[in-house]
Structure 1
Amino acid sequence: MVEVKPEELKMIKESKLYYPDPEKVKKSVLGSVDAFNALLRKSWEDPESFWADVASELYWIKPWEKVMGGKMPYFKFFVGGITNPCYNLIDRHLEQGADNKLALIWEGEDYQTKFYTYRMLYSEVCKFANVLKGFGLQKGDRVAIFLPNLAETVIAVLACYRLGVLFNTVFSGFSVRALRDRLINYEPQVIVTADGGYRRGREVPLKSKVDEAIEGMESIQAVVVVKRTGSGINMKEGRDYWWHELMAGAHLECPPEPMEANEPGLVFYTSGTTGKPKGIVHSSVAFVVNNYVYAKFHMDHHPNDMFWCTADIGWLTMHIWGIAGALSNGVTTIFYEGALDYPRPDRFYQIIDKYRVNKLFTAPTAIRMLMRYGESWMESYDISCLDVLSLVGEPFNPEAWHWAFEKLGQKRMYINNTWGQTETAGCPLAGAAWVTPMKPGSCGIQFLGAQLDVVDEDGKPVPPETPGNLIITRPIPMMVRTLWREPERHIREYFSQVEGCYFTNDAAIKDRDGHFWVTGRIDDVFNVAGHRLSTMEMESAIIECEGVAEAAVIGVPDPIKGLIPVAFVTLRQGYEAGPEMEQAIKDKVVENIGKIAIPGTIYFTPVMPKTPSGKIMRRLLKEIVVGGEIKGDITGLEDIGTVEQVKAIVAAKKARG
């Protein structure tokens, strides 16, 4: 169990509700608090009827035979129902006369822009779907997308949806090793990448990483390359093709592939507690249906919304909000390629002002970054258009909440802090913009159709305001269906702890108002600036460094990123601690994972606190770094003296600065 500090528990108990502006309530999607509360009750008490009503708002080739079937982990929704996700994201709006409505705005870090109406986006998606068909791909085949936030990235995702081709997007900041690990497990037939991308003014090579990562992989039939930077790259004849050349000869029409609601659509890799990335398999149609209704109420989406999700396409957040949630609701979605504070800290405000963004989805990390820069950077811009701010990724501290509410939103903005995981897809803990009260720091209430609880180690519910394990007791359509090629691991990691329930591996508290507060991870996975990283994956990378005998990684609080990795390293005999060794370790982490996983601090220690079985007690390491003292029981350690040794090493390094 993750320990909750007394002051944190006191803050939760004393937290107050902030009620929305009554005039804004009237303009919300449902128009009243009572109407939403009635819908919420219906979704909990009669979920079959609720989900049937939601699905009926979308297009179906063939209606479902049964709304809900089976129980966790073997559940289904809209059983036998046939439709296509891409049709519901694009074609459905064309049928309603939205041909010339703006669907997608792309802005590059270098200020280049592209604009696509729904009709233009439809044509581009059909063309690329025909390109994929030209390589022989059909429903159930696999595409990997290794791109930054480009317009072509959205087009590639939607084309896969149109064909029923499984897709996986990989974070473009990952190293060759991290990319290769995922590709070897996934075995794609086609990879979509670019010659390069831009990040903080520097060109990031992508095609060269792909060339190295796929060496010896027999599954690869083709590599499609977007020309973004124009840099010289190697193009292998018969395997590598330029995007623009393929698109020039592609047909403008491509019929959507009929998909049963529960057929797999996307595979997303997330770090696991064993260090081996897990391929989370989501359905295609049910994923879109669920995120359609969640986005509608989380964001209070209206047809003329200008929506910006700041996430990278390599994280499921962008798919949930920037693609499925936004396009299913027929709004305009913005894709921005670069860093939010480049070339100056006002880039964030500049984009909001330029496009009149009224709905924003970002991470608490971004808000804390803006706080650090100060309010002076926003003074030159009119950001009064902001109406709803939603967040996910890591805990959103009350101080940052109040800054966002008072400074960013001028007390006129609804703040919707949410909770979700790659495995849950969207956010089953959240508020409905303008119709549910807000609480600074909380993740909101259990949302439409979702049922969650906080339980003890035996799986029994705990009283309000009591820390426990967060579980999901009823499935929702967008939840994980299995792990790619690891069905046994799927059951073991999520459904073996509490019978019939999904175990989140998160600790939480439910307060007396029904709001949930997620306080930390139970397992060895934590979020750094919204990116989920595995301690085992980082430790494995460090141990590969020459001279390292043992490593332990913990996540410690950081005012900007939420958590940052801190490493404890024991060296082999004959190797010395120092700046060169520190740099070698950091280089190895970058090589294997990426810059996001670089340890903020490295402590070299000849000993580690361990149990008699040899397990390193990372909890104790975290207590030493964060508080300088051990509060938990240490009687079970093999050698209690190791605690004092480690404390002295940490104190000495902190003293040196």
Structure 2
Amino acid sequence: MSDSEDTQLEARLAEQEAFEPPAEFVEQANVSDDSIYEEFEANWPDCWERAADLLEWETDYDEVLVDDDEPFYEWFVGGELNASYNCLDRHLDERGDELAIQWEGELGETREFTYEGLHREVNEFAAALRELGVEEDDVVTMYMPMIPELPVAMLACARIGAPHSVVFGGFSADALATRMNSADSEYLVTCDGYYRRGDPLDHLSKADEGLSGVDHGTTAVVVDRLGDEHDHDLGEDQLDYNELVADHAGAEVDPVTRDAEDMLFLMYTSGTTGEPKGVKHTTGGYLSYVSWTSHAVLDVEPEDTYWCSADIGWITGHSYIVYGPLALGTTSVMYEGTPDYPDKDRMWEIIERYGVNQLYTAPTAIRAFMKWGSQYPDGHDLSSLRLLGTVGEPINPKAWKWYYKHIGDESCPIVDTWWQTETGGMMITTL
């Protein structure tokens, strides 16, 4: 590091400013009392019962934490539950008609899933997976962009006790094959294609190439995203998603009871420093943690419309687009495309249209917004926003202040979060 870089770093570290949250935010916040810090310090690990209390358990746990075989910790030992039930079934009586997922495609088309509607399609696809031969503890791989069928497939797997392994849709065919071989996964859910900057992109050919590198037999389910934009013939071991769901219309699948320590999903690290490593996240500890951090850090309430702009192909999307928000019964926004198509105000247009209350995005994106200019957010009503968040990398002071001023109107607290694939949820953050 050069002397000038040293000087810049020291200046950044020395820069200190305080931005207190507005009193009205503190009054309504899910966590508003500093005593939580002392409570957690004094009552570790039993303090995590408050996280478990956000869920419904089929069998109560006996111990919060068993740590006598470090580092192989076990959380909520003896407890039993189902993640799909906690994200869907338990909300049906009070929130069945409320939106679970608000999806917007890059071309502007929208699809809305109420909790009842999402529950129905998850059950139908769960029944289809069972008919295909998927059994409890079989790993089902998913290789898709940001389309609603991705969380449907994830929750369907969770329902029948089959861990899912989502591979980021932008990864190569070789990356898909490597992960399927490592997981010994015989099942793939993918799609024909998706849109980027208005153009249809072929995805199925890449999936087919990846499957050719898998060293065991496979069955693939293909979602028709592009319709008439893309003609494709399904292979011998490939099935049409829409036909499968239609064939199981109205099916109801009882959620499989899972031990708290049973695997919910497998998430591979990016592999930038070597071979990708499969990280297993368990059902009870993971779901409790992402529910509680969504509630406590992001201040998510069932009545909110919440948007995490990450991709579900990464851990952030798993935790804070799918499992955390849906376990709390809120509305989670999903967007398929890029933030600058057809113009650089697409994100602010979405926030205004759906009345988004929390925005959780990356500093890289914020710096791009800064470069494009404040005229884009300033042209939209962003007054529905109550809280802002950042994830994925440190945020520099200049970007933080721009975010605070132009997106939050100097009235939204910003929670800057640090965590990683291995932790599954936020580890260091402000409250």
Q: TM-score, normalised by structure 1?
A: 0.63
Report deviation, 1:177.
2.0
Counterpart CA distance in 1 for 2:399 and 2:412 is: 14
Name which of 44, 48, 54 aligns with 2:45.
48
Equivalent runs, 1:95-114 vs 2, <5 Å:
95=93, 97-114=94-111
Counterpart CA distance in 2 for 1:81 and 1:318 is: 26
Alignment check: 8 A CA contact 2:377 2:406 kept? no
Name which of 148, 151, 161 aligns with 2:148.
151
Q: Who is 2:259 aligned against? A: 260
- Give the aligned length: 426
Which amino acid letter does the alignment assign opposite residue 154 of structure 1? P
Q: Who is 1:566 aligned against? A: none
Q: Which whole-Å deviations, capped at 9, do the CAs of 1:590-616 have from their partners, x for residues lacking one?
A: xxxxxxxxxxxxxxxxxxxxxxxxxxx
**Cα RMSD for the two superposed structures:** 1.8
Alignment check: 8 A CA contact 1:208 1:233 kept? no
Going from structure 1 to structure 2, the CA distance change for 1:361 and 1:411 (only over 3 Å counts) comes to same
Report deviation, 1:317.
0.5
Which amino acid letter does the alignment assign opposite residue 211 of structure 2? I
Q: Relative contact order (alpha carbons < 8 A, sep ≥ 6): 1 or 2 greater? A: 2
Alignment check: 8 A CA contact 1:214 1:220 kept? no
Equivalent runs, 1:200-211 vs 2, <5 Å:
200-211=197-208
3-state secondary structure, aligned to 2:293: helix
Report deviation, 1:220.
3.8
Name which of 123, 134, 149 aligns with 1:137.
134
Which amino acid letter does the alignment assign opposite residue 14 of structure 2? K
Q: Who is 1:166 aligned against? A: 163
Alignment check: 8 A CA contact 2:389 2:416 kept? yes
3-state secondary structure, aligned to 2:141: strand
Counterpart CA distance in 2 for 1:354 and 1:427 is: 29
Going from structure 1 to structure 2, the CA distance change for 1:273 and 1:358 (only over 3 Å counts) comes to closer
Alignment check: 8 A CA contact 2:261 2:285 kept? yes
Q: TM-score, normalised by structure 2?
A: 0.95
Report deviation, 1:136.
1.5
Alignment check: 8 A CA contact 2:142 2:190 kept? yes
Equivalent runs, 1:403-442 vs 2, <5 Å:
403-432=402-431
Alignment check: 8 A CA contact 1:187 1:220 kept? no
Structure with bigger gyration radius: 1
Counterpart CA distance in 1 for 2:358 and 2:21 is: 16
Q: Who is 1:89 aligned against? A: 87
Q: Who is 1:192 aligned against? A: 189
Alignment check: 8 A CA contact 1:358 1:388 kept? yes
Report deviation, 1:146.
0.5
Name which of 232, 244, 247 aligns with 2:245.
247
Counterpart CA distance in 1 for 2:272 and 2:300 is: 36
Q: Who is 1:553 aligned against? A: none
Going from structure 1 to structure 2, the CA distance change for 1:341 and 1:274 (only over 3 Å counts) comes to closer
Alignment check: 8 A CA contact 2:192 2:204 kept? yes
3-state secondary structure, aligned to 2:222: strand
Q: Which moved more, 1:396-405 or 1:406-415?
A: 406-415
Q: Who is 1:450 aligned against? A: none
Report deviation, 1:92.
1.6
Q: Which whole-Å deviations, capped at 9, do the CAs of 1:115-159 have from their partners, x for residues lacking one?
A: 011111111111111111111112110111111111111100111
Report deviation, 1:212.
1.1
3-state secondary structure, aligned to 1:430: coil
Report deviation, 1:218.
4.8
5+ residue gaps, structure 1, are 433-657
Equivalent runs, 1:590-601 vs 2, <5 Å:
none
Alignment check: 8 A CA contact 1:66 1:77 kept? yes
Counterpart CA distance in 1 for 2:44 and 2:159 is: 29
Q: Who is 2:377 aligned against? A: 378
Q: Who is 1:39 aligned against? A: 36
Report deviation, 1:10.
3.8
Equivalent runs, 1:225-624 vs 2, <5 Å:
225-230=222-227, 231-237=230-236, 239-250=237-248, 251-272=250-271, 274-432=273-431
Counterpart CA distance in 2 for 1:375 and 1:273 is: 34
Name which of 72, 75, 94 aligns with 2:70.
72
- Amino-acid identity (%): 36
Q: Which whole-Å deviations, capped at 9, do the CAs of 1:618-645 have from their partners, x for residues lacking one?
A: xxxxxxxxxxxxxxxxxxxxxxxxxxxx
Which amino acid letter does the alignment assign opposite residue 270 of structure 1? T
Going from structure 1 to structure 2, the CA distance change for 1:203 and 1:220 (only over 3 Å counts) comes to farther
- The structure richer in helix per residue is 2
